[in-house]
């Protein structure tokens, strides 16, 4: 089973991908993780990626496709994969389809996690973490049981990501709508898109996705 999870920043793609990986025994392929693993491997491809990233440049599409092609040939991908974070543009989607076709493979489903921008701004800008153990909290949805004290380790120091603020989130969403959202009609033309409401509880989103994938 080969699946892509799409949706705006903060829609919960990573969380759902991890749940699906456990549920179906397929591999969660995060582009960020693949890039880090390639660099750590010391391979020729990894060295090329390291130079590009060290220069502060974006990794070219052809290298990303090569990384994915190499990764999905690994034994742990025998049952399939979940792509999270790629493709982001229509040319990337076309290149991915071409690469899979060369291997006699294809995508089974594209799960589009849909959620209103206003909810995402609130969801992301309210996040903070324990500075000691990394446990996650939220200003509105998940505050520490004892105010100012981490539920997990009892530490009293917390931190927020610099880019987890309303202005930055809005800018990221604008980039998403401009660059990535146009992929929806591309995949809809292939009749493999299913849309899921991402504003509900994590378990509800997971249940809806599982229902969709039961038919694959």
Q: Active-site residue numbers?
A: 13, 88, 127, 161, 172
Q: Is residue 84 within 8 Å of 182, Cβ to Cβ?
A: no
Distance from the Cα of residue 161 to its chain's centroid = 18
Q: Is residue 84 within 8 Å of 5, Cβ to Cβ?
A: yes
Q: Is residue 196 within 8 Å of 111, Cβ to Cβ?
A: yes
3-class secondary-structure state, position 5: strand
Crossing angle of helices 13-24 and 202-213, in 10° steps, is: 50
Cα angle vertex 68, ends 108, 111, to 5°? Answer: 30
Closest CA to 120 of 182, 168, 180: 168
Whose structure tokens read 């409401």? 197
Q: Is residue 109 within 8 Å of 192, Cβ to Cβ?
A: yes
Residues 6+ apart with CB under 8 A from 213: 1, 3, 20, 24, 108, 109
């Amino acid at each position: 089973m080969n699946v892509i999870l799409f949706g705006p920043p903060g829609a919960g793609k990573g969380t759902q991908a991890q749940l699906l990986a456990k549920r179906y025994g397929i591999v969660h392929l995060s582009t960020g993780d693949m890039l880090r693993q390639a660099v750590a491997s010391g391979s020729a491809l990894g060295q090329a990626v390291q130079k590009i990233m060290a220069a502060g440049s974006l990794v070219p599409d052809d290298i990303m496709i090569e990384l994915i092609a190499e990764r999905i040939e690994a034994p742990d991908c025998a049952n399939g994969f979940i792509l999270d974070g790629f493709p982001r543009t229509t040319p990337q989607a076309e290149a991915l389809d071409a690469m899979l076709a060369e291997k006699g493979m294809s995508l089974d489903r594209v799960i589009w996690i849909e959620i209103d921008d206003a909810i995402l701004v609130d969801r992301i800008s309210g996040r903070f973490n324990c500075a000691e153990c990394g446990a996650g909290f939220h200003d509105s949805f998940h505050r520490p049981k004892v105010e100012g004290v981490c539920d997990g380790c009892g530490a009293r120091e917390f931190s927020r990501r610099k880019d987890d603020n309303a202005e930055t989130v809005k800018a990221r969403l604008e980039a998403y709508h401009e660059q990535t959202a146009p992929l929806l009609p591309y995949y809809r033309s292939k009749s493999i898109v299913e849309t899921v409401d991402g504003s509900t509880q994590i378990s509800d989103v997971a249940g809806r996705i599982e229902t969709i994938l039961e038919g694959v």
